[in-house]
Amino acid sequence: MTGAGNWTYFLPGAHPVLIDAGVGEPAHLEAIAGARHDGPGHVLVSHAHGDHISGVTALAARWRGTRFSKRPWPERDRNLAVSWTPLADGDIIPAGDSQLEVIHTPGHAPDHLAFWHAESRTLFSGDLVVTGTTVVIPATMGGNLSDYLHSLRRVLALGPSRLLPAHGRAIDDPATIITRYLRHRREREIQVLSALEAGLGSVDQIADAIYAGLAVTLLPMARESVLAHLHKLQHEGLARVVDDVWTVAM
C-alpha cells in the first residue's frame, strides 16, 4: 500500500526536525546520522499508520534525547514505547531555521496532520494526496470521507505552491490535483448512490459493481472506500442502513 516506499523529510538547522519517522530501516537511520550525527532532534509524525510512525522506537533507541510529537490518537499511540508531545491545529513549531504551522487534516486518519511552511508556501502533506492514485479512506479504521473532503478544501484554500507527500513525487500543481481529487469523490458518490437506487444493499455488492475487474487483493480497500461513501451519505441523510442493508433515504 505504500507504492515505491515512504518519504520522510529532514530539516536541519537551529531546530532540527524530522517529518515522519519511517519504519526503522537501518539505511534510513544511517541517512539521518549522515545529515546530523546527534540525530533528528524533534520528530513530527503525520499520523499513526505504521509506515509513518513505527520507526519511532528505533529512533528513540539510537538517539535518546529525541522528542516525538503528533496529534493524539490514544489507542494507536500507546503501542509505541515513546513519550508523545501532543500537537494541535495552529501550533507553531520551530523547524530548521524557520517554523512550521500544524494543520489538522483528518479523513485518511483521525489524527492526520500536515505541516505548513508559510515562507515557501510548502505543505508537508503526509497521506493527504498521492500523485497518480487516490488516497484510501479506511472507514472501519478511523477514516472519514466528510472530514477528508473538508481537509482537501482547507488545503486548497491555503493556496500552497508545493505539496511534499509521504508517498510519490513532490506535487508542484496542488490546486490541479486537489480539484481532481474532489471531482473523483463526487463521481464515486454518484456511482454509490446509483448502486443503492438499483437495489444493491451491501458494501460487497456495491464494491463489486463499482470496481468490476479490480484485482482481488485490492478489494478490501475498495470496500473500505464504499463504506466511507455510505457513511458520508448517511451523515447527510441521503442513505440509511437497517440490519446491514443499505438503502436510499427518501
Toward Zn ion, which CB reaches closer, 1 or 215? 1
Print burial letters for 87-98: b (CB count within 10 Å at least 16), e (below 16): beeebebbbbee
Toward Zn ion, which CB reaches closer, 49 or 104? 49
* Residue 185 touching Zn ion (CB under 5 A): no
Toward Zn ion, which CB reaches closer, 15 or 150? 150
Which 49-68 positions form the footprint of Zn ion (CB under 5 A)?
Answer: 49
At a CB cut-off of 8 Å and minimum separation 6, what does 128 contact? 105, 107, 108, 112, 114, 135, 151, 152, 155, 163, 165
Which 204-243 positions form the footprint of Zn ion (CB under 5 A)?
Answer: none
* Stretch of residues binding Zn ion (CB under 5 A), selected from 10-18, 121-129, 169-177, 223-231: 121-129
Toward Zn ion, which CB reaches closer, 49 or 185? 49
The tally of CA atoms less than 13 A away on the side-chain side of residue 55 is: 28
User: Is the distance from CB of 125 to CB of 155 less than 8 angstroms?
Assistant: yes
* Residue 70 touching Zn ion (CB under 5 A): no
Toward Zn ion, which CB reaches closer, 127 or 189? 127
- What are the C-alpha distances in Å from 184 to residues 28, 30, 79, 133? 35, 40, 35, 11
Strand 122-126 with 113-117, pairing: antiparallel
Count residues contacting Zn ion (CB under 5 A)?
A: 2
φ, ψ of residue 26 in degrees (nearest 5): -55, -40
Closest residue to Zn ion in the complex (CB): 49
Distance of closest approach, residue 48 Cβ to Zn ion, in angstroms:
9
* Residue 127 touching Zn ion (CB under 5 A): yes
φ, ψ of residue 156 in degrees (nearest 5): -55, -40
Distance of closest approach, residue 235 Cβ to Zn ion, in angstroms:
22
Distance of closest approach, residue 64 Cβ to Zn ion, in angstroms:
28
* Stretch of residues binding Zn ion (CB under 5 A), selected from 17-25, 45-53, 67-75, 219-227: 45-53
* Stretch of residues binding Zn ion (CB under 5 A), selected from 47-55, 65-73, 151-159, 217-225: 47-55
Sign of the CA dihedral with 178 first, then 179, 182, and 188 last: negative
Rounded CA-CA distance 225/32 in Å is 36
CB-neighbour burial class of residue 26 (10 A; exposed 0-12, middle 13-18, buried 19+) = exposed
* Stretch of residues binding Zn ion (CB under 5 A), selected from 30-38, 73-81, 123-131, 175-183: 123-131
* Stretch of residues binding Zn ion (CB under 5 A), selected from 42-50, 68-76, 97-105, 239-247: 42-50
**Residues at the site binding Zn ion, with contacts judged by CB under 5 A:** 49, 127
